[in-house]
Chains A and B, each alone.
Chain A
Amino acid sequence: MQQFLNVTLGGLAQGAIYAAFALALVLIWRATRIINFAQGAMAMFTTYLALVLIESGQSYWTGFAVALAGGLVLGALVERVVMRPVEGGPELNAVIVTLGLFVALQALAAILFGATFQSFPAPFGLRGFTVGGTTIAFTPFSVFVIGSVVVVMLGLVALFRFTDLGLRMRASAFSQEVARLLGVRVGRMLTLGWAFAAVVGSLAGLLIAGGNLVHPAYMDAVIVYGFVAAVLGGLESPAGAVAGGLIIGLALSYVSGYLGSELVTLAALAILVAVLLVRPHGLFSRVAERRV
């Protein structure tokens, strides 16, 4: 029973991070029909920015804020400079460009920050809470992870549901040409979409790194799990991405806890294949519009 509780709690915390990462993928997919394979590398880069600041004596929170702000700028820059020329062309071109960016950012990080493992601090304790004399695998840092992901998600929901900017971004995501006709500056909305997505991705990067080791490729596994989570949620729906992230986090935690950690990647693949076979539009896809 205690094992089950530990595995579940650990899975929820991991799942929250995958959810954030999947959300970042979904935001960009909805707006531009591009899977941003460079998302992980971008997050890794901003996490290194935080690490450099923290190691130079700044507080964790300064690093945290700078990494998120860096994500905002990096996302906007990537869209404006790298993606804009290939948008509207064949989709494969854009995908290849994101893969190229992924490799380039990783190489750049290795040059700038070194390719060795470095430990990244956590702002809260990493010792589990004690409940009834036993220590459970739920730490103050896990609370922070889940809390910050929830805050970011609520913020995004508020942005998209209740603000005019959100309405324009959603309109641009559904139909660029029509939105343009209604006076929406679609280009700006795309830039903002990438920027917001990169902030969410950066948050995932910081949370994965907290209390762990970072190196230029530390986000690679998260890209895979985040992608599986996004597909599980249907790629279209932010709520689906969140649910998909939590499901993946829990499922992988159970696999790791009961079957062995070497099977985790295989399990992720199995889930991906199963979803694509059974519900190719994701677990939460709405029934497609019926044509009469």
Chain B
Amino acid sequence: MTVPDTSQTRLAESRSGAAPLFSATGVTVRFGGLTALDDVTLDVLPGEVHGVIGPNGAGKTTLFNVCCGFVRPGAGTLTWRGQRLTGLRPHQLAGMGIARTLQGLGLFGGLTVLENVLTGADRFRRTGFGSALLALPRARADERALTERALAALTEAGVAEYAGRYPGSLPYPVRKRVAFARALAADPELLLLDEPASGLGAAELTELGELVRALAGRMSVILVDHHMDLVMTVCDRITVLDFGRVVAQGPPAQVRDDPAVIDAYLGEEASRGGDHG
């Protein structure tokens, strides 16, 4: 509810001019007495990579969970292509064109890499269960198209050679790329990446940055991470959360020098303790 926050949001909006693809407005989430998100507003423009950063416990993951319907906000609205979303349920996301990766990857252990990615591409299936069961030519063609789409996503993520393997037998960075490919296979308009850099080495981080940057323009990306280097180089705009509130919003250069951000990251405990005590 602080005045500078909203003014900065307005600033970012007026600069871009385009209508946002996805926006969360005034989102507040309380878990019992804890306010996880406090009046958070976030706009994602078509084709931009939008970073959400903040110290641990700042509410980044909660914001993500609100965006994909896992958590219902106590107050606030979500808007998708100008239409207000009410009663968003997780299974509706894929059909709307929103895909998400998870911190825990969430790969299906008993499915091959290709099958995992096929599940992601499933929203493009046009034939029903009956024709698939009877193996009608239409279903065959559909199947082939989906497999091609899945393989293309695996190729884009650079892990096509692992298509027949099971996730459990692959090293962690490869599994991360498989999860990434699964989200890509849904050909989303909005891709939510939850801590894509966690557990990756420096070289892999650079590759990830290139991978994400290549998506910009084709789809909107919301990226939650606390690797400042990655976020600063990859994102078009950044929203900084601290204690569930937006403390800064804007392009990387502007956010980097924002006193509120430095404050949140370097932790002026005394002044913050005064605010929240």
Closest Cβ–Cβ distance, residue B126 to chain A (whole Å): 11
Q: What does DSSP make chain B's interface, helix, strand, loop or mixed?
A: helix
Inter-chain CA distance A179–B115, complex, in Å, is 12
Is B90's CB under 8 angstroms from A175's CB? no
**Which of B99, B132, B186 gathers most chain A CB within 10 Å?**
B132
Residues of B within 8 A of A165 (CB): 129, 132-133
Inter-chain CA distance A185–B122, complex, in Å, is 12
Residues of A within 8 A of B123 (CB): 183
Within 8 A of B (CB), among A149-183: 159, 163-165, 167-168, 170-171, 173-175, 177-183
The answer to the question of A262 belonging to the interface, with a C-beta cut-off of 8 Å to chain B, is no
Closest Cβ–Cβ distance, residue B148 to chain A (whole Å): 15
Is A174's CB under 8 angstroms from B111's CB? yes
Is B132's CB under 8 angstroms from A182's CB? no
From B135, which residue of chain A is reached at the shortest CB distance? Answer: A162
B161-176 near A? 1/0 per residue, CB < 8 Å: 0000000100010000
The answer to the question of B119 belonging to the interface, with a C-beta cut-off of 8 Å to chain A, is yes
B106-133 near A? 1/0 per residue, CB < 8 Å: 1111110001001110110100010011
Is B132's CB under 8 angstroms from A170's CB? no
The answer to the question of A186 belonging to the interface, with a C-beta cut-off of 8 Å to chain B, is yes
From B109, which residue of chain A is reached at the shortest CB distance? Answer: A174
Residues of A within 8 A of B122 (CB): 164, 167-168, 182-184
Partner of A182, one of B120, B125, B168, B172: B120
The answer to the question of B215 belonging to the interface, with a C-beta cut-off of 8 Å to chain A, is no
The answer to the question of B12 belonging to the interface, with a C-beta cut-off of 8 Å to chain A, is no
Known: A180-B91, A182-B119. A163 touches B110 (CB 8 A): no
Is A181's CB under 8 angstroms from B110's CB? no
Is B111's CB under 8 angstroms from A164's CB? no
Inter-chain CA distance A168–B128, complex, in Å, is 13
The answer to the question of B74 belonging to the interface, with a C-beta cut-off of 8 Å to chain A, is no
Partner of A184, one of B68, B106, B119: B119
Is A184's CB under 8 angstroms from B109's CB? no
Known: A171-B108, A174-B110, A175-B106. A183 touches B129 (CB 8 A): no
Residues of B within 8 A of A182 (CB): 94, 99, 119-120, 122, 182, 186
The answer to the question of B95 belonging to the interface, with a C-beta cut-off of 8 Å to chain A, is yes
Residues of B within 8 A of A167 (CB): 111, 115, 118-119, 122
Known: A164-B122, A167-B115, A183-B93. A178 touches B108 (CB 8 A): yes
Is B91's CB under 8 angstroms from A183's CB? yes
Is A181's CB under 8 angstroms from B100's CB? yes
Is B119's CB under 8 angstroms from A185's CB? no
Known: A163-B129, A183-B91. A168 touches B119 (CB 8 A): yes
Closest Cβ–Cβ distance, residue B64 to chain A (whole Å): 11
The answer to the question of B260 belonging to the interface, with a C-beta cut-off of 8 Å to chain A, is no
Is B109's CB under 8 angstroms from A289's CB? yes
Inter-chain CA distance A184–B122, complex, in Å, is 8
Is A180's CB under 8 angstroms from B110's CB? no
Inter-chain CA distance A174–B111, complex, in Å, is 9
Residues of B within 8 A of A171 (CB): 108, 111, 119
Partner of A163, one of B108, B119, B133, B186: B133
Inter-chain CA distance A74–B171, complex, in Å, is 44
User: B-side interface residues toward A, CB under 8 Å?
Assistant: 68, 70, 90-95, 99-100, 102, 106-111, 115, 118-120, 122-123, 125, 129, 132-133, 143, 168, 172, 182, 186
Provide 18 A-B residue pairs closer than 8 Å at the C-beta atoms, listed in order of the A residue.
Answer: A164-B125, A167-B118, A168-B122, A171-B119, A174-B111, A175-B106, A177-B106, A178-B102, A178-B107, A179-B119, A181-B100, A182-B94, A182-B122, A182-B182, A183-B92, A183-B93, A183-B186, A184-B91
User: A-side interface residues toward B, CB under 8 Å?
Assistant: 159, 163-165, 167-168, 170-171, 173-175, 177-186, 289, 292
Ordered nearest first, which 5 A-B pairs have the shortest CB separation?
Answer: A183-B94, A178-B106, A174-B108, A289-B168, A180-B90
15 extra interface residue pairs, beta carbon distance < 8 Å, beyond A170-B111, A178-B107, A183-B123 = A163-B133, A164-B122, A164-B129, A164-B143, A165-B133, A170-B110, A181-B93, A181-B94, A181-B106, A182-B182, A183-B94, A183-B122, A183-B186, A184-B119, A289-B109
